[in-house]
Amino acid sequence: MPPHEQEGGSGRLRAGLGDGRETGASDPPEPQGRPGGAAKTFTFDAVYDASSKQADLYDETVRPLIDSVLQGFNGTIFAYGQTGTGKTYTMQGAWTDPEKRGVVPNSFEHIFTHISRSQNQQFLVRASYLEIYQEEIRDLLAKDQSKKLELKENPETGVYIKDLSSFVTKNVKEIEHVMNLGNQTRSVGSTNMNEYSSRSHAIFVITVECSETGPDGEDHIRVGKLNLVDLAGSERQSKMGGQGERPKEASKINLSLSALGNVISALIDGKSTHIPYRDSKLTRLLQDSLGGNAKTIMVATLGPASHSYDESLSTLRFANRAKNIKNKPRVNEDPKDTLLREFQEEITRLKAQLEKRGMLSQKRRRNSRRKKVVEGEGNTEAEGEEDNDEGLEKNMENYLKEQKERLEEEKAAIQDDHSLVSEEKQKLLEEKEKMIEDLRKEQEATELLAIKYKVSVSVLTAPPRVCVAKLG
C-alpha cells in the first residue's frame, strides 16, 4: 500500500459511535501546569484503547452495519480526528497482516463471503472512489485526473455525482485492486503532524445490488450503498506548518469540517428550520448519512500527547454531538436505476432473439413441406422474413463485435498495469485470451449457422421455374 496508508494506530483511543452498547469516555486529563476545570463525561457506544485489536472494533461495531447494507440499507462509516491519531490506520490498516487489517479490507471480505454463501440470490457489486480536495470533487479512478466533477440531485435517488466512474467487481481481489489504483492518485503531503498526511476527504463507495425471487414469483431487487469515509485531519492550521499549498489545503479542510459540525449542531438542536447541507461538498454529498436514509457510524480517534489536548477535547465534543443525530434508515427495494436490472433485461432480450431465430427456421421447414410457393406472394413474404432475419443477424454480429472489442481493451489495460506482478498479469492475460478464443468460436458457429440458413431460404423461396427445371 502507499506510505500514507500506514498511519500508526498504537497508543490511540478510538471511540466508536453506532447504535448498540454505551460506554463512558471521560474527558482526557489536562496537561500539568494547565488550570483544571470541571470533569466532563462523554457517552459512546464503544471505546477502544491501545490494547484493542482491529478485529474487536470491526466485529463489535462495524459488522452489524455491513449486514444491514447486504439487506438493502444505506450505511456510512466516518473516521474523524487529528492527523496522526490513526484514522487511516483504523480504516485501512496493514492489508497484508490479518491482525492489523482495518475496516475497509474486512468489509470487502465480509461482503464477498456473504455472497459466496448465499443461495437463490443474484448479486452485483460496484465500486467507486472519489476525493474532495480543496472543495473540488475528483474521481480517483478516472484517466483524466484534472477533470472536476459536479454534484447533482435526483428527486427519487437523492444527491449523486455526475460522470463518476463505477467498476463491477466479482471478488475481494478485484475490489482491492480498484482501491489500490485510487490510492495511488490521492492527495497527500508532508506536514508537521505527519510525513504522509491525507490532504483530502476520501470516500470509497460500494453499491451492492441483490435480486431475489419473491413468493409472488417476481424478481425483487434491493440496493444497499456503503460509504467508507476517511476525513482529513481536524487540527488547527497553526500546527500544520508547511509552505506553498499546505495553508490553503488546511483552510479548505477546516471549512468543510466546520460545515460538518454546523450540520450536526443544526440536526440535534431541534429548533433549526434550516440544515446547512449546501455549505460544503462534503455535507452535501453525505446528506443522507446525516439525519437521512442511512445507518451511520463515526469513529473518533484521539492521540495521547499533551500538546494534542485541545484537539482531543474538540474531537470528543464533536463525536458526542454526532451521536445524538437521529437517522431514518429504510430498505431500498426495487429502485428503478439498477445495473443488475439492466443486465437481466439485456440477457432476456438476447435470449428472445435467439429463440425467435430458431422459431423462424422451424416455420420455414414446415411451410416447405405443406405448400408450394407462389412466385409473387412467395417473393414478397420471403423478402419480409429475410429483412427480419438480417436484422437479427446484424444485432448478433454487433453484439459479438462489441464483446471482442471490450476483451481486447481489458487485455491492453492488463498489459499496461504496472501494479500487477508478472504471475498475476500472465494469469489474467491467459484468461482474456481464452475468452477471446471462445468468442471467436462462437462467432464462427454463428456465421456457419447463417450460411446454412441462407442456403435453405434460397431453396424455399426460389422461383417456380427453377424448381421445375431441377425436377425435370
Q: What percent of the chain has pLDDT over 90?
A: 21
| pLDDT at position 21 over 70 | no
Query: Considering 323, 354, 376, which residue would you say is the last residue of a domain?
Result: 323
Cα 93 from Cα 79, distance rounded (Å):
13
Asked if residue 194 belongs to a domain, the reply is yes
Q: Which residue has the higher pLDDT, 285 or 443?
A: 285
Mean pLDDT of the chain: 74
Q: Name the pLDDT band for 335 (thresholds 50, 70, 90).
A: low
Q: Poorest-confidence range of 190-194, 387-391, 410-414, 430-434?
A: 190-194
Look at residue 166 and tell me whether its pLDDT is greater than 70: yes
Q: Given a cut of 60, is residue 35 above it in pLDDT?
A: no
The answer to whether residues 89 and 139 belong to one domain is yes
Handedness of CA 147, 92, 229, 109 (dihedral sign): positive
Of residues 368 and 457, more confidence is placed in 368
pLDDT band of residue 14 (cuts 50, 70, 90) is low
Between 449 and 133, residue with greater pLDDT: 133
Q: How confident is the model at residue 104 (pLDDT cuts 50, 70, 90)?
A: very high
Q: Is the pLDDT of residue 469 over 70?
A: no
Instruction: Over range 287-294, report the average pLDDT.
Output: 87
Cα–Cα distance for residue pair 292/229, rounded to 1 Å? 17
Residue 101's pLDDT is 92
Q: State whether 253 and 385 are in the same domain.
A: no
The pLDDT, as a whole number, for residue 378 is 46
Residue 332 lies in a domain: no
Rounded to a whole number of angstroms, the distance between the first and last alpha carbons of the chain is 81
Asked if residue 299 is part of any domain, the answer here is yes
- Does one domain contain both 239 and 365? no
**Identity of the amino acid at 424:** E
Max mean pLDDT among 81-90, 103-112, 356-365 falls in 103-112
More confident residue, 409 or 237: 409
Residue 143: which pLDDT band, with cuts at 50, 70 and 90? confident
Domain check: are 11 and 80 in the same one? yes
Task: Look at residue 328 and tell me if it is in a domain.
Answer: no
In sequence order, the 6+-apart residues with CB closer than 8 A to the CB of 217 are: none
More confident site: 462 or 293: 293
Rounded Cα gap, residues 24 and 44, in angstroms: 6
373 pLDDT above the threshold of 50: no
Residues 315 and 392 occupy one common structural domain: no
Clarify whether residues 345 and 458 are in a common domain.
yes
Burial class (CB in 10 A: 0-12, 13-18, 19+), 380: exposed
- Categorize the per-residue pLDDT at 365 as very low, low, confident or very high, splitting at 50, 70 and 90: low
DSSP tally for the chain: helices H, then strands E: 13, 15
pLDDT tens column, 173-229: 999 999 999 888 876 544 444 434 456 888 999 999 998 887 777 788 899 999 999
Out of 77-86, 167-176, 362-371, the most confident range is 167-176
* Band of residue 33 on the pLDDT scale cut at 50, 70, 90: very low
Q: For 223-243, what is the mean pLDDT?
A: 71
User: Residue 76, annotated ligand binder?
Assistant: no
Residues 315 and 345 in one domain: no
Question: Over the stretch 252-273, which tens digit does the pLDDT of each residue have?
Answer: 777 888 888 889 888 887 777 8
Instruction: Check residue 169 and give its pLDDT.
Output: 94
pLDDT at 75: 93
- Pairing state of beta strands 121-133 and 201-213? antiparallel
Residue 348 annotated as lining a ligand binding site = no
Q: Are 87 and 7 in contact (CB under 8 A)?
A: yes
Task: Select the highest-mean-pLDDT range: 101-110, 233-242, 297-306, 330-339.
Answer: 101-110
Q: Does the residue 235 lie in any domain? A: yes
Query: Structural domain of residue 343, as residue ranges?
Result: 339-471
Report the CATH number at residue 156: 3.40.850.10
Looking at residue 168, its pLDDT comes to 92
Asked if 208 and 122 sit in the same domain, the reply is yes
Residues 236 and 140 in one domain: yes
pLDDT at 192: 40
Whether the pLDDT of residue 58 is over 90: the answer is: yes
| 243 and 216 inside one domain | yes
Threshold 0.75, pTM exceeds: no
| Measured distance CA(167)–CA(181) in Å, rounded | 12
Q: Are residues 213 and 118 in the same domain?
A: yes
- Min mean pLDDT across 68-72, 141-145, 410-414 is at 410-414
Question: How many domains does the chain contain in total?
Answer: 2
333 lies in a domain?
A: no
Q: Which of 323, 348, 371 is the last residue of a domain?
A: 323
Residue 44 has pLDDT above 60, yes or no: yes
Q: Higher-confidence residue: 412 or 126?
A: 126
Task: Answer yes or no: do 255 and 344 share one domain.
Answer: no
Report the candidate in 66, 88, 63 with the shortest Cα–Cα distance to residue 78: 88
Please report, for residues 51, 242, 335, 467, the alpha-carbon distance to residue 206 in angstroms, rounded to integers and kept in the order given. Answer: 30, 35, 16, 65
Question: Does residue 134 lie in a domain region?
Answer: yes
Identify the pLDDT of residue 471.
Answer: 32
In this predicted structure, what is the pLDDT of residue 381?
46
Q: Which residue has the cell 452489524?
A: 64
Q: Give 65's pLDDT tier (boundaries 50, 70, 90).
A: very high
82 is an annotated ligand-binding site residue: yes
Q: Is 86 annotated as a binding residue?
A: yes
Model pLDDT, residue 130? 92
Q: Are 182 and 141 in contact (CB under 8 A)?
A: yes
Query: Is the pLDDT at 472 greater than 90, yes or no?
Result: no
Is 120 a domain residue? yes
